[in-house]
Amino acid sequence: MAASETAKDLALRHAFGNVLSFFILVLIGVLAFSIRLFSVIKYESVIHEFDPYFNYRVTQNSCKGKKIMLVEEEAVFVCYLCLEEEVDNELIGNVYCSIIGIRLTYVAGDMDLLWFQFLTKNGIYDFWNWFDDRTWYPLGRVIGGTVYPGLTLTAGTLWWILNSLNIPLSVETVCVFTAPVFSSIAAWATYLLTKEVKGTGAGLTAAALLAMVPSYISRSVAGSYDNEAVAIFALIFTFYLYIKTLNTGSLFYATLNSIAYFYMVCSWGGYTFIINLIPMHVLLCIVTGRYSSRLYIAYAPLVVLGTLLASLVPVVGFNAVLTSEHFASFLVFIIIHVVALAYYIKGMLSPSMFKVAVTLVVSVGLVICCAVVAVLVALVASSPTKGWSGRSLSLLDPTYASKYIPIIASVSEHQPPTWPSYFMDINVLAFLVPAGIIACFLPLSDASSFVVLYIVTSVYFSGVMVRLMLVLAPAACIMSGIALSEAFAVFTRSIKFQLPSLSGVSQVDAGNSDSGSAATTQTEAVKADKIEESTKERPSRKNRKKEKETVEKPSVKSRIEKRLLVLPLESSVIALLLLVLLGAFYVVHCVWAAAEAYSAPSIVLTSYSHDGLHVFDDFREAYAWLSHNTEVDDKVASWWDYGYQTTAMANRTVIVDNNTWNNTHIATVGTAMSSPEKAAWEIFDSLDVKYVLVVFGGLVGYPSDDINKFLWMVRIGGGVFPHIKEPDYLVCWRIVAMLSFDRICCVIRDGQYRIDSQATPTMLNCLMYKLSYYRFVETDGKAFDRVRRTEIGKKYFKLSHFEEVFTTHHWMVRIYKLKPPKNRIRGKTKKSKSVRVHYLFSMTRRSSPLLSHNSSSLLSICCFHSLFGRKLAQQQAQKEVEQERIPGIKPIILETVVTPGLCNTYFPNRHDDRTKRLQSLLIL
């Protein structure tokens, strides 16, 4: 009777505990979701950042049945492309442009949204084969092969499910809320992982910590539709399944693990972290003599299945077996088989026989290994970067980037973090992590050793690159969860143990039995009660739940430890209080970070002044203007930062965008921006650009404008086109010294970037300067730039090749139109005439066999081509002229007089100025 009753009681308590932890998990999910909604509540439900608009565009326009180009990567790629590597968007995320210390947040959700829209409309196969001609004009971009489709597919599935349930959420809404939803799921995955390592209490604590860790919030606020949002979930879940497999030895979980790994590969380039960390752990286990069949089951299927699955993702493809990032896993795969064989043979043979066998196997194995390694090394060494991508190299050698790729160095996200950024991003967790590591060693299991390895490696990587703080955050949460949970367990246990039976404790503590006085016990009991109450009212759920867990725990274990670790009542009470304070501080910090630091969308800016809130919605003003008041086929040139947004919000073709896979192209735009007006006009005209967009913050003091980024345009442009030289744009110290001869303090300014009257003439005549400051002086009469805090150097000038067509309310975005070329004046433009003639010819020759002597048809074909991609053809023509492949055609064309009427016959519906241009072109 009694036994069954206790069993029932126990079962009930178990059930109660389960229900309780279920509710706590639900609440954690709600917390993780809602803490990320500040951006939506304070601003609105839009994709917030510059980059996320790419994805949005894909989805949207494809819904209209229009194919658009997907572009999703970002600045970082510039670097990689410098290395001439394949596209890799692992580094999408917040890029802090470090020019003049200004921080710019980029999140790459845009583009994901666009893909997603495309996906929802056209299905997966069209998605893979999608060629987007809206970006990187005139190159275009193959989407399927250049994006990590995980996020897009995820959101697409969500959208599809909702819509098939007749819940008509818009694509945009789904995209905005994907990140918060997935951070909830990531919190649950953290719970699972930590539970596998250290039990439910630690799991719940870690989940609560992760739900609000600022580092993760920064990438997953509502509206940042970003790869990292789902990738962190995938990362944690993959680790959980690995540990689960390791603990159970179940092949089922091993298979799930491979699938989770596949999802991670789909989502983020950071999957290489997994495929290196797990082999490291396996190796660690083997070395420390922890090899078991469970380890084999956890690892071998993952490598085989995981690699096969990973190579299904078009972006990864053969990289899954070809690049050095994956070699560690294969090497360990071999090692684990050798070890497995060794254990197997050991079981079969007698000890003496085994010794013989060992020598045999070791010698043979060594030879084979050497051979394999040699082959691998040879293969790897044959590739220019030794098989390592620039990112990985800069990870392994922190100085690599700054030494070889200045553009990588330019992105401050790739700089080592500063101490404040640790405090900002993981806050008190930084102090709890060491305690967690210690707790993991008591006792050390396979799982806890994995977590220790995880935190150690991620600390290293985060020390190399700021953005990898994101990988550190879950590890720190797990460790701190373990630490907090253990600490609470110890303290509450001490209190609980001392409260009901004070003397019992003292008996065990030997000798103290008689000293305990009832009076003190009484007061302490009251105190402890109070504490228990106060802990229940704690702001964060995490502490309460953990404490409940420990109290609830019916296990015998706690009983044992109870006897082992009992702390004095007073100190445990105080320690508990302090821990609660620490937790409260963490919560306050996280909420602040979520509300203030990370929720401001870069697309809408706000400022508070004495007369209330000011909204700077200039970006959208400009994009809306572009989308409604320009032709659909017009090309817009801007610095790549605004590429995604222009394609997504303004729906116009751009020259370069945040997926910076082609450095030359970016350099062309950079060169144009840093050239004088006429040269810039020619470059833009050759790219068929019709509008040029610049961002100018001088009027309202918006610091991350194009003038502040201008030096990078010069550098990147100069990297490809040597006639652009950075020193030309910088004030050299000698000049400064001359100008300020009587002021010696100024002499030390060497190579300073400035736009005031001391700036170099090159600087003052470049296109970017002119477009930014055009008629700026008339605003206040002095032309005082509020960002640079100086008066500008050249105040009065006119534009001859560009005209202002739109400027937003706060002048933050200025759009200029290329003026049509002036009518040709006879005799003056001889050179260009011949070029045009050749161009006409070459186009005809290439396109039609009837080029021969029927000059009118020839010209009509020429005209036709001149309307489509004239400049490209022109270049080709020039080339052919140089090669002298077109003899005799020049006279023919020169003799032909084409009347404007001919043009009209062929292009009655053409746009006016185009026709005009054509006419001027044809009347030779």
Partner 1 sequence: MSTLPSFLNPNLEKSQRRQRKKDEVYSARSAAHSNRRYTVFPGSIGSTYLYNRYPCWLSVCDPFLQIDLASQIVRIATTLKVENAGSDPVSEVLFAFPDHQAKNLALLVATTTEGKGKTKSSSGSLPIEAVHPEGMPPALTWYTVSLPKGLGKGESLTLDMMAVFSHLLRPFPEKITQGDIQLVVFQDSAHYLSPYEVKRQSVRVKLPEPKVESYTKLENTKFSGSEITYGPYENLPSFSYSPMAVHFVNNKPFAVAKELVREIEISHWGNVQVTEHYTLLHDGAQSTGEFSRLDYQARPQVKGASSFRNLVAMLPPRAHSIYYRDEIGNISTSNIYSDSTKTLLEIEPRYPMFGGWRTSFTIGYGLPLHDYLFHSEGKRFLKIFFGCPMNEMVIDNLIVKVVLPEGSSDISASVPFSVKQGQETKFSHLDMVGRPVVVLEKTNVVPEHYQHFLVHYKFNSLSLLREPLMLISGFLFLFVACIIYNHADLTISKSSASYLAKLQWDEVQASIQQVLNIINRCIATHDKVEASLRDLSRTGDAQACKAARKAADNLLKELSKELKPLLTFLQSSSQAVQILPKVEELVAKERELQDRIMSKHSTVVDCYEKKSSGRDFDNRVAPIQQKITALRQEVDDLIEVIDEI
Half-sphere exposure of 685 (CA within 13 A, CB side): 17
- Residue 117: C-alpha distances to residues 63, 112, 134, 155, 644 (Å): 6, 9, 15, 9, 15
Q: Binding to partner 1 by residue 166, rule CB under 8 A? A: yes
The 483-522 site mask, x for binding partner 1 (CB under 8 A), equals ------------------x-xx--x--x--xx--------
Q: For the chain, percent helix, then strand, then coil, each to nearest 5?
A: 65, 5, 30
* Phi, psi for 145 (deg, rounded to 5): -90, -5
x-marked contacts with partner 1 along 122-161 as a string, rule CB under 8 A: ----------------------------------------
Comparing CA positions, the residue from 203, 272, 268 lying closest to residue 72 is 268
Question: Least distance (Å) from partner 1 to the CB of residue 6?
Answer: 5
Binding piece for partner 1, criterion CB under 8 A, among 233-241, 266-274, 339-347, 622-630:
622-630
In the bound complex, what is the minimum distance in angstroms from residue 621's beta carbon to partner 1?
4
Count of residues that interact with partner 1, criterion CB under 8 A: 49
Which of 384, 419, 628, 781 is in the footprint of partner 1 by CB under 8 A? 628
Among 438, 591, 805, 835, binds partner 1 (CB under 8 A): 805
Cβ-based nearer residue to partner 1, 562 or 846:
562
Give min distance, CB of 7 to partner 1, in A: 6
2 binds partner 1 (CB under 8 A): yes
Nearer to partner 1, 87 or 502 (CB): 502
**Alpha-carbon 602 to chain mean position:** 15
Name which position in 26, 44, 368, 512 contacts partner 1 (CB under 8 A). Answer: 44
Tell me the residue length of the chain: 924
Q: Please state the closest distance from residue 255 (CB atom) to partner 1, in A.
A: 19
Residue 636 or 858 with smaller CB distance to partner 1: 636
CB 767 within 8 A of CB 684: no
Q: How far is the CB of 29 from partner 1 (least distance, A)?
A: 18
What is the token pair recorded at 576?
A: 């508990």
Q: 179 with 45: CB under 8 angstroms?
A: no
Handedness of CA 83, 85, 88, 90 (dihedral sign): negative
| Among 828, 837, 819, residue whose Cα is nearest residue 881 | 837
What is the DSSP track for 766-808? BHHHHHHHTTTHHHHSS-EETTTTEE-S------SSEEEEEE-
Helix count and strand count (H, E) for the chain: 43, 11
Question: CA–CA separation, 607 vs 912, rounded Å?
Answer: 44
Residue 120 CA: distances (Å) to CA of 48, 145, 564, 647: 21, 18, 60, 19
Question: Among 28, 32, 46, 477, which residue sits at the site for partner 1 (rule: CB under 8 A)?
Answer: 46
Residues between 89 and 118 that touch partner 1 (CB under 8 A): none
624 is a site residue for partner 1 (CB under 8 A): yes
Q: 174 or 604: whose CB is closer to partner 1?
A: 604
d(CA 626, CA 872): 25
User: Of 448 and 842, which CB lies nearer to partner 1 in the complex structure?
Assistant: 448
- Based on its alpha-carbon atoms, the radius of gyration of the chain, rounded to whole angstroms, reads 33
Nearer to partner 1, 139 or 560 (CB): 560
Smallest gap from Cβ 348 to partner 1, in A, equals 23
Residue 391 neighbours by CB distance under 10 Å:
26
Chain positions 583 to 612 lying near partner 1, rule: CB under 8 A, are 603-604
Amino acid, single-letter form, for residue 91: L
Is there binding between residue 340 and partner 1 (CB under 8 A)? no
**Which CB sits closer to partner 1, 47 or 669?**
47
Does the footprint of partner 1 cover residue 632 (CB under 8 A)? no
What is the smallest separation between the CB atom of 648 and partner 1, expressed in angstroms? 8
**Residue at 743: amino acid letter:** R
Residue 141 identity: R
Q: What angle do CA 809, 814, 817 make, to 5 degrees?
A: 130
Cα angle 770-774-775, degrees, rounded to a multiple of 5: 150
Find the part of the chain contacting partner 1 (CB under 8 A) among 24-32, 398-406, 424-432, 800-808.
800-808
Q: Is 809 in the site for partner 1 (CB under 8 A)?
A: yes
Closer residue to partner 1 (CB): 128 or 806: 806
CB nearer to partner 1: give 534 or 629: 629
CB of 812 to partner 1, least distance (A): 11
Helix (H, G, I), strand (E, B) or coil at 141: strand
Find the part of the chain contacting partner 1 (CB under 8 A) among 489-497, 672-680, 798-806, 911-919.
Answer: 798-806
CB of 475 to partner 1, least distance (A): 26
CB atoms within 10 A of CB 362: 12
Binding mask 519-558 for partner 1 (x = CB under 8 A): ------------------------------------xxx-
Rounded CA gap, 376 and 573, in Å?
A: 59
With contacts defined by CB under 8 A, name the span among 39-47, 439-447, 719-727, 895-903 that binds partner 1. 39-47
Residue type at 744?
A: I
Whole-number Å distance between alpha carbons of 767 and 707: 11
Nearest to partner 1 of 12, 364 (CB atom): 12
Using CB under 8 A as the binding rule, the residues of this chain from 736 to 775 that contact partner 1 are 775
Residue owning tokens 């953005």: 467
Strands 635-637 and 790-791: unpaired
Give contact residues for partner 1 (rule: CB under 8 A): 2-3, 6-7, 10, 43-44, 46, 60, 165-168, 501, 503-504, 507, 510, 513-514, 555-557, 559-560, 563, 603-604, 615, 617, 620-621, 623-625, 628-629, 649, 775, 778-779, 803-809, 811
